[in-house]
Chains A and B, each alone.
Chain A
Amino acid sequence: MADVKKMAIVVHSGTLDKAYPPLMLAAAAGASDMKIDLFFTFWGLLLLRKKGLRRAKLPGIMRMGTGMMRWRIKKVGIATMQELLEAAKDSGNLTIYACTATMDLMMVKKEHLIPEVDGFMGAAGFLDIAADADIQLFI
């Protein structure tokens, strides 16, 4: 391949509606031979806690519709977030970073996080990665 495209995403939100898109994009990018760096920060970081993806709810008043949404997701055959994460990891193209300031803020320790986390960094570290990416998103 001539040049490998790179995608860098800030995963800022911990709710189901905003957790899905970065994982879908990461899985698709992995299968498209693109490198992906996901930086989980603020409420997004909570998704990296063990069972975090499974516990994600819809935001605000829609929270009570979470079960219905998950049922619809299953019914139409959309993969679970765990499956998407696994698939993106399997491609060998996904690197996951946890935001260290958020870990302090939310009192999250390394041992609370899923083993798929590759690294820990702050804003400057992620900016260095994003500066070299072809696609930069904030979700």
Chain B
Amino acid sequence: MSEKPVANKTFDARGLQCPMPILKAKKEITTLEVGQILEVLSDDAGSKEDFPRWARRTGNEFLGIFDEEDFARYFIKRLG
């Protein structure tokens, strides 16, 4: 996998269930400037499909998933 992006902000969504990680991420990403990167930590299994699709659907760029032991890091660049 490619190199881990450097995030401008990290949001810890661990412990949240669908659809809350997406809802919280939406709030977080709107606090960033266009071009900045949001990192979300999630242990919701659905996030693997949800985050890439949600990012594209909302006009942002999905930069990748980086697995940790019992959660994953999701990187989204704000474009919209």
Q: Contact residues of A with B, CB < 8 Å?
A: 1, 5, 24, 27-28, 30-33, 76-79, 84, 87, 91
Contacts and interface: CB of A to CB of B under 8 A. Distances in A.
Given A33-B80, A77-B20, 16 more contacts: A1-B58, A27-B19, A27-B23, A30-B23, A31-B22, A31-B23, A31-B54, A32-B22, A32-B57, A33-B59, A76-B17, A77-B15, A77-B16, A78-B17, A79-B17, A87-B20
Q: Which of A5, A28, A30, A91 has most B Cβ within 10 Å?
A: A28
Interface residues of B, number: 15
A31 B16 contact: no
Contacts of A31: 19, 22-23, 25-26, 54, 58
Q: Which of A32, A33, A79 has most B Cβ within 10 Å?
A: A32
